[in-house]
Amino acid sequence: MSFKEAIESGKFVVTAEVGPPKGTDIATMIHDMHILKGKIDAVNVTDNQSAVMRICSLAVCKIAMEQGLEPILQMTCRDRNRIALQSDLLGASVLGIHNVLCMTGDHVTAGDQKGAKSVYDIESVQLLQLVDSLNKGKDMHGNDLKGTTSFFQGAVVTPEANPLEPQLMKFEKKVRAGANFFQTQAIYDIEKFKSFMTFAKKTGAKIMAGLVVLKSVGMANFLNNNVPGIKVPPELIAELKAAGKEKALDTGLSITARHIKQLKEENICDGVHIMAIGMEDKVPEILQRAGLL
């Protein structure tokens, strides 16, 4: 099944990420793709993640297809105006890329090209509307296309944002704009996530819980102190600390696997999106521990 068919069928879907390298050496990336092949339903290809310049996501999506993976093209509004966004989407469509994740994108100040100018001609809700328009055979301004697209478009949401109400409002806007599925920002508090899902299920949108693998106590503290919308609970930090430095990563893998298992067994959401951040080779092990392989 395609990713769209899988998630619409009610299957508990699994996606992971591949980060394009900063340079033309793609050996490690190809290695990671081989490890993920056959173990996940689709792979996200990040778009200059954290505003760090890398190989373009469109090219890497095509490489992923050649390696036997179904790609999800991540597209941000930071680096392109509406003309370039539409042009790239048409290019993706003719290359056979049919999943797109629409995001506003981190500001350039977060990345490695401090002198760059952010574009933000449109934002994520408008990008979803743009994709919906292309699917209906029109460009963003109502002009007819010679051939339509057939994108399965997704968006992001932050269930642990504080305050949460603005996120819920934006979430509903994205659903109305045509979002078919959501991949969330990293969640660590399953009970709090259940509360969000009570609201989200009313919209009918498919929700995949985002899970960032914890490597250490230091990483957990960094996320708490520097990434809005992510909160690693004290009990998980204590669990990592008790494991010691040598076993912290192994404990982090087990925490992720435990959360996946709970999310699936309790039918809390429609799947998971694993963000291993440089540890893509650990994804099969996580899935094995979660009982999915």
Residue range 60-81, pLDDT digits in tens: 999 999 999 999 999 999 999 9
- If pLDDT is split at 50, 70 and 90, which confidence band does 265 have? very high
Distance of alpha carbon 156 from alpha carbon 142, whole angstroms: 26
259 contacts 185 by C-beta, under 8 angstroms = no
- If pLDDT is split at 50, 70 and 90, which confidence band does 235 have? very high
One-letter amino acid for residue 143 of the chain: N
For 221-230, the pLDDT digits (tens) are 999 999 989 9
* Poorest-pLDDT segment among 106-115, 143-152, 175-184, 235-244: 106-115
Q: Which residues pair with 209 in a beta bridge?
A: 272
Segment 130-137 shows an average pLDDT of: 98
Q: Name every residue whose Cβ is closer than 8 Å to that of residue 267 and which is 6 or more positions away in sequence.
A: none
- Share of the chain residues as helix, strand and coil, in percent rounded to the nearest 5: 45, 15, 40
User: What is this structure's pTM?
Assistant: 0.95
Q: Name every residue whose Cβ is closer than 8 Å to that of residue 214 and which is 6 or more positions away in sequence.
A: 220, 232, 236, 240, 248, 251, 252, 255, 256
Question: What's the pLDDT score for residue 266?
Answer: 98
Q: Name every residue whose Cβ is closer than 8 Å to that of residue 163 and which is 6 or more positions away in sequence.
A: none
Q: Does domain 3-289 have CATH number 3.20.20.220?
A: yes
Environment class of residue 224 by beta-carbon count within 10 Å: exposed (0-12), middle (13-18) or buried (19+)? middle
Domain boundaries, the chain: 3-289
* Residue corresponding to tokens 């963003």: 140
